[in-house]
Structure 1
Amino acid sequence: MIAAASEPLRVGFFLVPDFPMMTFGAALDPLRQANRIAGRSLYKWIFVSTDGAPVHSSAGVPIPIDYSIADMPACDLVILCAGLNHIKAYKPAVFRWLRSLHGLGCVLGGICAGQFLIAKAGLLEGRRCAVHWELLAAFQEEFPQSVASNAIFAVDGPFITSSGGTVTLDMMLYVIAASKGRDIADAISDQFNHPEIRQQNSAQRLPAQTRFGIRNPKLLEIVKVMESSIRNPVDLQVLARRVQLSTRQIERLFVTHLGKTPSAFYAGLRMARAHDLILQTDLSIADVAQICGYMSVSRFGRMYRAQYGNTPREVRQGGLTRRSAVN
C-alpha cells in the first residue's frame, strides 16, 4: 500500500462510461479537502479514459478527461471507477495497461465495480478484494480464484478496493492516513460530518433486522441462514430444529412479521440473486438456476417469470432495466 511520502502524490482516476457519481465524489473530494486543510498540495489528480474522450456518469454528467491510457503520466495510485456497465472497459488494451501499471509498482484501486477490471486483467488471483453486495455473486462466479469479500473496503498488497458508494470515503481516509498521517484523515472526516472512520471489516449492508423489520431473534436467525444458503437451500425442518421451534410456529412467525410463508420468502431471496446473475453475468440460464438452488431449469424459469413478469431469456435479451443499489 502507499507509504508516507513528502512529495505530492499523483492519483489517476480511470473512468468507465456510466460510472456512479457518488462513488467518484467520495474518492476525489477527500483529496481536495486534504490539500485545503494542509494549505499545500498533498495530492494531485488526473482523469483518464481509454481513448482520452470525455466520459459520462450514470446520471449523464460528462467529465472532461486529461489523458488516454496511452499517454497518461506516471501515477502513485490509479483508481478505476466503474458501475454496472463495467464490461464497456473489457478491452485487451485496458488489461495490458493495468498489467503494465502493476509491473511498474503503481498501486491499483477499484471502486464500485472497478475491481472487475483488475481481476479480468489477471491481477487479483488469490487476492482479497471488497465487492458491492449486489455484485458479489457475479464477481465470485466470474473470478473464483479471487477472495471476494463483503467488507466495505479491502487492502491486499498493492491493491485497494471499495464496495462503492459512501464507504469509498472510508477507503480514501485510509489512503490519506497511510500516506500523510492519521491527523489529517481525522480532520477530513470531521469536515465531512463523518463521525467515525469505518474499518475494513465493517458491514456493507444494513443488518437483516433493519432491512426486513425483524425483531424476533429466532426469525432473524432463520433469515440469516436463508441469505447465506442460496445455492443449497435449507429445508424448513432443519431450520426448525436449529431454532428449536416447530415448522408451524415458524410459518406463523413469517406470516405475522413478514407477510409471507417461509417458502415464499426464501424463493424471493433466491430470485433476487438470480436476477443479479442474469443481468450482470454471461452465465447460462441453467448455471444461474443451479447457483440459486434449482435443479430444474423449467421450474426456475416459471418461478422467475412469476417474480419479474418475464422469462430470464427475455430479460437478458431485452436488456430490461432493473433496480440498482450501485448505479
Structure 2
Amino acid sequence: MEQASENALEMIAAAAEPLRVGFFLVPDFPMMTFGAAVDPLRQANRIAGRPLYKWSFLSIDGAPVHSSAGVPIPIDHAIADMPPCDLVILCAGLNHAKAYKPAVFKWLRSVHSRGCVLGGICAGQFMIAKAGLLDGRRCAVHWELLAAFQEEFPRSVASNAIFAVDGPFITSSGGTVTLDMMLYVIAASKGRDIANAISDQFNHPEIRQQDSAQRLPAQTRFGIRNPKLLEIVKVMESSIQNPVDLQVLARRVQLSTRQIERLFVTHLGTTPSAFYAGLRMARAHDLILQTDLSISDVAQICGYMSAARFGRLYRTHYGSTPREVRQGGMARRASIA
C-alpha cells in the first residue's frame, strides 16, 4: 500500500531495474500521445546500452487495439493476465468511455492496492477517476476535455497544467507534453543526464515544467501584438460564464469603447461583441460535443440566460442546432471503430 509521504516519482525512483511499465490501450487512442509515452523508454535503453525499462501492451481482453488513426497495436496481455508492473499508464482518447467496464475498474483498484503507480495520458485519467481513485487528487486534463472531466468528476481537482503528480498518480494532458512527463519519470528513476540526452535525441530543446501552459498564448493564436487588445482578449477568455461589459473592459485598459472597437476592427477584423460571442460559442460547442450537460446548462455556463436565445444564436453560428450537433458528434465517434 502507498505511504503518505510517497508520490509517483519517488515510488518510481525506488523501483528495481528494469522498471516494469504496462500500457493499457483503449480503442481509438491517440498515436501521438502513445508514441510520446513509449519511445522515450526505448531511447533510454538505447542510450544506456542496457534495459533500464521493460514494457508491455495491455487491453481488456488481450485483442489488438486500433488507434484513432486506424493503426492496430498488437497486445501482450489481457488485463487479467498482466505481469507485475511498477507503473501502469492508461492511454485513451475521445472514446475513453469504451473502457468504462466493471472489470477495468476492479483491475485498476487492484493494481493501485498493490502499490503500483497509475498514470493517465490524454483521457486515461477518466478511467482512473471513474474507478474512484482520484477523489481529492490533482490531475492534468486536456483543455478540450476539461469541462467534461469537471462535470463527471467534481470531487477530483482537474488542472490545465501539462502534467501533474499527486500521490501515486501521474497524469498528462496528452499530445507532445506526454514526452515531458515521461522525461520527468526517466529523470526520477535514472537521473537528469539521461533525460536530457533523450530530449536532445528528440530535438526537444526544453523539458517543460508541470505548470506550463497547454495551449499557445493568445497573442500567437489570434496574432495580437497590441498589449491593451491582448489584455482585453485574455479577460474575455477567462470570463465566459459571466461576460464582462465593454464599458468595464474600457475602464480596465483605460481606453474609450470607441477606441476598443477600432482596435478589434484593425487587428482582428471584427467587433468586440462578435469576437466575444465567438469565444462563448466555441466553449459551448466543446461542451455540446464533450459532455452530457443539458442544452440549458450549456447556455448558462456560456453566459446565456435564455436557452432558446442560445439555441438560435448557436444555429446561426454553426448552421445546426445544439441537439443536431451533439447527435452528429456521437455518431461520428461511434463510427471511428
Match of 1:119 among 89, 112, 129: 129
2:206 is the alignment partner of 1:229: no
Shift of 1:93: 1.5
Match of 1:86 among 90, 96, 108: 96
Shift of 1:5: 3.6
Match of 1:202 among 188, 208, 212: 212
Checking the alignment, whether the CA contact within 8 Å between 1:4 and 1:181 is kept in structure 2 is no
2:106 is the alignment partner of 1:101: no
- Alpha-carbon separation, structure 2, partners of 1:220 and 1:15: 40
SS in 2 for 1:59: coil
2:301 is the alignment partner of 1:288: no
**What's the TM-score, normalizing by structure 1?**
0.96
**What's the TM-score, normalizing by structure 2?**
0.93
SS in 2 for 1:290: helix
Aligned partner letter, 2:325? V
Match of 1:319 among 311, 318, 329: 329
Checking the alignment, whether the CA contact within 8 Å between 1:50 and 1:94 is kept in structure 2 is yes
Structure 1: which 5+ residue stretches go unaligned?
A: 323-327
- Alpha-carbon separation, structure 2, partners of 1:118 and 1:293: 32
Match of 1:142 among 145, 149, 152: 152
1:134-193 per-residue CA deviation (whole Å, 9 max, x = no partner) reads: 111221222222111111111111111111111110000000011111111111111111
Q: Corresponding residue for 2:3?
A: none
2:57 is the alignment partner of 1:29: no
2:318 is the alignment partner of 1:308: yes
For these two proteins, the number of residue pairs brought into alignment is 323
Checking the alignment, whether the CA contact within 8 Å between 1:5 and 1:180 is kept in structure 2 is no
Aligned partner letter, 2:46? R
Q: Which runs of 4+ in 1 moved over 3 A?
A: none
State which drifts further: 166-175 or 279-288. Answer: 279-288
- Alpha-carbon separation, structure 2, partners of 1:255 and 1:135: 32
SS in 1 for 2:58: strand
Structure 2: which 5+ residue stretches go unaligned?
A: 1-7, 333-337
Checking the alignment, whether the CA contact within 8 Å between 1:12 and 1:77 is kept in structure 2 is yes
In percent, how many aligned pairs have the same letter?
A: 90
Q: Within 5 Å, give how 1:117-266 maps onto structure 2.
A: 117-266=127-276
Q: Corresponding residue for 1:55?
A: 65
Aligned partner letter, 2:293? L
SS in 2 for 1:306: helix
1:70-120 per-residue CA deviation (whole Å, 9 max, x = no partner) reads: 111221101111111111111121111111111111111111111111111
Shift of 1:320: 6.6
Checking the alignment, whether the CA contact within 8 Å between 2:229 and 2:264 is kept in structure 1 is yes
